[in-house]
Amino acid sequence: MSDLPETLAGCADAILRTADGRAKTALSKRCAAAWFASREAGTPMPIGQGNPPDAPARPDTPALMEPRDMPRRRPGSPSGRIALLHAVAHIELNAVDLHWDIISRFSDVKLPMGFYDDWVKAAEEESKHFNLMCDNLESLGSHYGALPAHAFMWRAASDTASDFLGRLAVVPMVLEARGLDVTPGMIEIFRKAELPEAVAALEVIYAEEVSHVAYGSKWFHFLCGRHDLDPKDTFHALVRKYFHGALKPPFNEEKRAEAGIPPDFYWPLTEAEPAPPKGARD
């Protein structure tokens, strides 16, 4: 373990600067193991001072495309299923970086140790999710990088690079919560296609993502309390500021509740901002 950076923020930066997905996630798992070993020994690794890159290192492939240029495939076809797994792999790789980025970028904010425990655990799980998706792609004769992937996945991170509460509102509480809404439908697609390995992998992701959303809600509420802010109003203001567009129902209300996101947090955001007064558009 001695070749790892000495601080948690240093580990985060090294992971963010590793381009290859399998190498990035292997380093992520080793850093997580070192963190939890240090916590158990009662000598926690220092948090240190982060120096994250603006955007994480990425492999040469997949080619990144604007969402509107992405080829459309039917989810019921074999190539559609591969495209779906590829899209999830891409999301998971970004999730690994998002979890380490928050640790590094906001390393100057004083937080209880439990915050780092939650974020490191989630980063380790995202690393597992990426590898599960890669394994499934490879068993179907493809691989991560074989298809184009969405550009702009890092936009939520760039937009909230100097707003810790904004980051928590948009990434775990909007984007990861959206994962809870759509994953059951994906599991059904692979169940119908009789691909039990993919079903099992997506079920692991579905179960573990509930706690990632819950970590977001927990620490969002913690910080609102620290700054004497109303959590619901603050959440609405930050999502309107940093998330581009309205939230889309149907919502997985049960899992969102389990993750500590009540309906009055997300339902009011299903509508675009109130229209400008009459005449303002002329």
Taking residue 139's Cβ as centre, other Cβ atoms within 10 Å add up to: 12
Residue in the shown chain whose Cβ atom is closest to Fe ion: 212
Counting contacts by CB under 5 A, is residue 101 touching Fe ion?
A: no
CA distance 144 to 250: 29
Nearer to Fe ion, 48 or 256 (CB): 256
Counting contacts by CB under 5 A, is residue 97 touching Fe ion?
A: no
Tell me which stretch binds Fe ion (CB under 5 A): 110-118, 122-130, 240-248, 266-274. 122-130
Nearer to Fe ion, 8 or 205 (CB): 205
Nearer to Fe ion, 29 or 48 (CB): 29
Counting contacts by CB under 5 A, is residue 126 touching Fe ion?
A: yes
CB 53 → Fe ion: shortest distance, Å? Answer: 21
Tell me which stretch binds Fe ion (CB under 5 A): 27-35, 127-135, 193-201, 234-242. 127-135
Nearer to Fe ion, 105 or 121 (CB): 121
User: Interaction with Fe ion in 151-190: which residues (CB under 5 A)?
Assistant: 176
Nearer to Fe ion, 48 or 169 (CB): 169
3-state DSSP of 154-199: CHHHHHCCCCHHHHHHHHHHHHHHHHHHHHHHHHHHHHHCCCHHHH
**How many positions of this chain bind Fe ion (CB under 5 A)?**
7
Question: Contacting Fe ion (CB under 5 A), which of 58, 212, 218, 256?
Answer: 212
CB 186 → Fe ion: shortest distance, Å? Answer: 12
Nearer to Fe ion, 11 or 95 (CB): 95
CB 209 → Fe ion: shortest distance, Å? Answer: 5
Structure tokens at 116: 């780092």
Tell me which stretch binds Fe ion (CB under 5 A): 23-31, 87-95, 196-204, 241-249. 87-95
Applying CB under 5 A, the residues found at the interface with Fe ion are 92, 95, 126, 129, 176, 209, 212
